[in-house]
Amino acid sequence: MARVAIVTGGTRGIGEAISLALRDQGMTVAANYAGNDEKARAFTERTGIRAYKWDVGDHQACQDGVAQVAADLGPVDVLVNNAGITRDGTILKMTLDMWEEVIRINLGGCFNMAKAVFPGMRDRKWGRIVNIGSINGQGGQYGQVNYAAAKSGIHGFTKALAQEGARFGVTVNALAPGYIDTDMVAAVPADVLEKIVAKIPVGRLGQAHEIARGVAFLCSEDAGFVTGSTLSINGGQHMY
């Protein structure tokens, strides 16, 4: 029977690529989204992957959303916490709302979703959780104290939860993308983007499918001995 996977923020950009990669690996995928109904419908028509709307920053909504997916598709075996937002600004300009919203979605969403799927994975003695971090959570980034803090927190969250899941066959890993050619990066001013690319040793932006392939491996049967790890896919921009 096909594994059931949930990909948060799974209808656009990197999330869409991940949803497609897991589908192509033979999984039954549910793609979560938060806002754009029209684009979600177009995604489903294009891919055949069902889209489910809820706010990952809302704890009860995650419980209800996971329950609905399980009722429709079967117990959830794989979770990819990909949903994320930016509210950039230096700390002098950053409001409390900008701080709290990024933490609520980017980091809180990981807790809310893991809380909803982990008990079932533990009981069935198999599960894969992959949390999407960021190069900016590893190395920091000017004007992103909220985003960098949330993404950095994901790496600690991953290592701690990996220790809880290991003896139950539940692996928990993170993947830290560098700068990827998505709508989010396309919104960066051209002169700034040029400077970013100049710092990437391979000399280009990454592609969403390159991230998706890494996620697909971490979600596979073959990755059972990989847990508590962070896979960095960034073209060599940050190494440690």
User: Tens digit of pLDDT for each residue in 198-233?
Assistant: 999 999 999 999 999 999 999 999 999 999 999 999
41 falls within a domain: yes
Question: Is 24 among the domain residues?
Answer: yes
Structural tokens at position 10: 């799974």
Tokens 């794989």, residue? 78
User: What are 82-112's pLDDT values in tens digits?
Assistant: 999 889 889 999 999 999 999 999 999 999 9
Q: Is residue 88 part of a domain?
A: yes
Contact status, residue 112 vs residue 58, Cβ threshold 8 Å: yes
Task: Give 15's pLDDT tier (boundaries 50, 70, 90).
Answer: very high
pLDDT of residue 85: 86
Specify whether the CB–CB gap between 114 and 129 falls below 8 A: yes
Contact 2, 27 (CB under 8 A): yes
Residue 1 pLDDT class (50, 70, 90 cuts): confident
Residues forming the active site: 147
| 240 part of a folded domain | no
Residue 238 lies in a domain: no
The whole-model pTM stands at 0.94
The CA distance from 119 to 32, in Å, is: 20
State the CATH number of the domain containing residue 71. 3.40.50.720
Written in H, E and C, the secondary structure of 192-218 is: HHHHHHHCCCCCCCECHHHHHHHHHHH
| 124 Cβ contact partners less than 8 Å away, ≥ 6 residues apart | 75, 77
Question: Residue 165: how many CA atoms within 13 Å on its side-chain side?
Answer: 32
Residue 121 falls within a domain, yes or no?
Answer: yes
Q: How many CB atoms neighbour CB 209 within 10 A?
A: 15
User: What is the count of structural domains for the chain?
Assistant: 1
Range of the domain at 205: 4-233
- 203 occurs within a structural domain: yes
pLDDT digits (tens, 9 = 90+) for 22-80: 999 999 999 999 999 999 999 999 999 999 999 999 999 999 999 999 999 999 999 99
- In the numeric block, which tokens belong to residue 211? 């991230």
